[in-house]
């Protein structure tokens, strides 16, 4: 049986932290499906189609079988639609764990066969959050410290 994992998020924008989790998650499974969604509580920098394209472009640099798809609705339903056995979640801090652990428990109740795997952020990326990157971009700061080079160019182009 194939070990398919899913990693979901809004990825607006894709950061070096996301890419680190993608690399590490891809090494844990036979196939990683990245689900790109919309978060109604956040002001998007990129459209859903743009984010899917950016994530696909950057994920192409990572070893492993990786598929990038847009999705709406619940992550457990998305995971079921791609026959995933586990969901990957990145943790930057204890606050992330406080948010993610109840969600993992609810996902487990809704989909008992679906496991959640938490990957701690690497020390080099633990401080990076997409919302903070957007703030830096809006202020004209150096986003290249926090995102891959082509994503930095995408952000500069979007700011024009």
127 as an active site residue: the answer is no
> Which is the catalytic residue, given 18, 24, 51, 134?
18
CA–CA dist 10, 130 (Å, integer): 9
Count CB neighbours of 96 within 10 A.
17
Q: Is 69 a catalytic residue?
A: no
> One of 10, 24, 89, 130 is an active-site residue; which one?
130
Q: Is 92 a catalytic residue?
A: yes
The reply to whether 134 belongs to the active site is no
* CA distance linking residue 116 with residue 120, whole number of Å: 13
Alpha-carbon dihedral sign for residues 14, 33, 44, 98: negative
| Catalytic residue chosen out of the listed positions 31, 69, 85, 92 | 92
Q: CA 15 to CA 148: how far, in whole Å?
A: 7
| Active-site residue identified among 3, 42, 138, 150 | 42
The torsion of the CA quartet 110, 111, 115, 118, rounded to 10 degrees, works out to -40
Dihedral sign for Cα 63, 158, 6, 96, please.
positive
Q: So which residues are the catalytic ones?
A: 18, 42, 92, 130
């Amino acid at each position: 049986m194939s070990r398919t994992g899913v990693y979901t998020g809004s990825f607006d924008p894709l950061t070096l932290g996301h890419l680190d989790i993608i690399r590490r998650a891809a090494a844990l499974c036979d196939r990683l499906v990245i689900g790109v969604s919309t978060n109604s509580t956040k002001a998007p920098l990129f459209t859903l189609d743009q984010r899917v394209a950016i994530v696909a472009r950057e994920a192409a640099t990572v070893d492993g079988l990786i598929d990038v798809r847009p999705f709406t609705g619940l992550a457990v339903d998305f995971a079921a639609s791609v026959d995933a056995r586990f969901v990957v979640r990145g943790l930057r801090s204890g606050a992330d764990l406080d948010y993610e652990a109840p969600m993992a428990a609810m996902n487990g109740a809704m989909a008992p066969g679906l496991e959640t795997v938490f990957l701690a952020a690497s020390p080099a990326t633990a401080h990076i959050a997409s919302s903070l990157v957007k703030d830096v971009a809006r202020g004209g700061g150096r986003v290249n410290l926090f995102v891959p080079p082509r994503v930095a160019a995408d952000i500069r182009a979007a700011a024009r």
